[in-house]
Amino acid sequence: MRICVTGIGCVSGIGMNVEEHLRAFRDGRTGLGPVALFPTVHKEPVSEVKRTNKELKEFLGIPLPAELSRTALLGMTAAFEALADSGLDLSDSGRKLRIGLISSTSTGGMDLTEFFYPAFRENPVHGRLRYVASHDAGDSTERIASFLGITGFRTTVSTACSSAANAIMLGARMIRQGMLDVVVAGGTDALCKFTLNSFASLMILDKKPCRPFDESRAGLNLGEGAGYLVLQSESTLDKAPYCLLSGYANANDAFHQTASSSDGTGAFLAMEGALDRAGMQPDEVDYINAHGIGTPNNDASESQAIRCLFKDRIPPFSSTKAFTGHTLGAAGGLEAVFSVLSLNRGILYPNLNYSMPIEATGLIPVTRYQERVSLRSVLSNSFGFGGNNTSLLFRQSDK
């Protein structure tokens, strides 16, 4: 059974929809800047969605008094665009399609919990408990499902930075096993104090714009956003799909709580597994949307894995995180959207801020925006804490 991608939607610091993202990539416009969402002592750049929660509610037509986490609002924005793009009509009871939502997040409704806690700390009988009700990671999934009108299967995935890629992989597996006909899959995450403080404590935030795959890289920049795909079984199609999700794999090398192994074992196994699932050889991959967060450890590990798998035939590759920041649980969803666009429109994205290759591997990423490139397949990497590594392989539908 072939798994088809029929809808895409995204929101991040560089755009509120797919077309705005494409313009930002074309113009080389990053979303990085100072934190504006909340007061903080941290000066490291982040990529924030340029709308307040109030503005997001107005954009979505949601009553302003509704208590919704920013994570849920971002997810609603991207998932709605993806579903609308697919052309599916959920009110059409005649088709009787089994439609599910598989969403992912790392922070959940932490932003609302942070509003609750100061008053509660002063007096345990104070604080608005309705804020805490959104804390659970599954709350955003239920809110998105309700907004879209999806009443069937719903579940939440949280595996750090590979979360959304794993949600997409699970959606493909459920369609392949005949459990669902259509899946809206991806992830959403909002910036909050907890996330910024946590990554600062790990000392992996760059005080300057991040430089993925550069010898001088010094850390990552955080971001927020959401990205979703609509996956369908081929038998349910009403229109030509963007492409196929032909391969996917997850591998965990269990090397460390946060660090990647120096030889890139988990990343290698994930990429190799995605190719095996698709029945493809390494030399058939035309572009890699790399995980590439800009930390010394991650980029060296991913580079080693790419070198090991592709040997002397390294396909064009780049990281888009210098545009969007690292959006954590949403990253795999956003970058799956970017990969589908890359394949559908023949685009190679520039790896911003690159100047010098990593000495140990010598790999050189794509440094300028390119259009009308002939692409047959695109590999998207999402590698998370704890060695939870996932790769998705998208392929032209006529191949």
Local structure of 228: helix, strand or coil: strand
**Whole-angstrom Cα distance, residue 210 to residue 46?**
10
- Strand 99-104 and strand 154-157: pairing? parallel
**Residues 325, 224 contacting (CB under 8 angstroms):** yes
Contact 186, 354 (CB under 8 A): no
Nearest Cα to Cα of residue 54 among 78, 37, 30: 37
Distances from the Cα of 113 to the Cα of 37, 107, 136, 196, angstroms: 15, 10, 10, 15
**376 and 399 Cβ atoms separated by less than 8 Å:** yes
| Active site residue ranges | 161, 291, 326
- Residue partners of 165: CB distance under 8 A and separation at least 6: 248, 332, 333, 336, 380, 382, 390, 391, 392
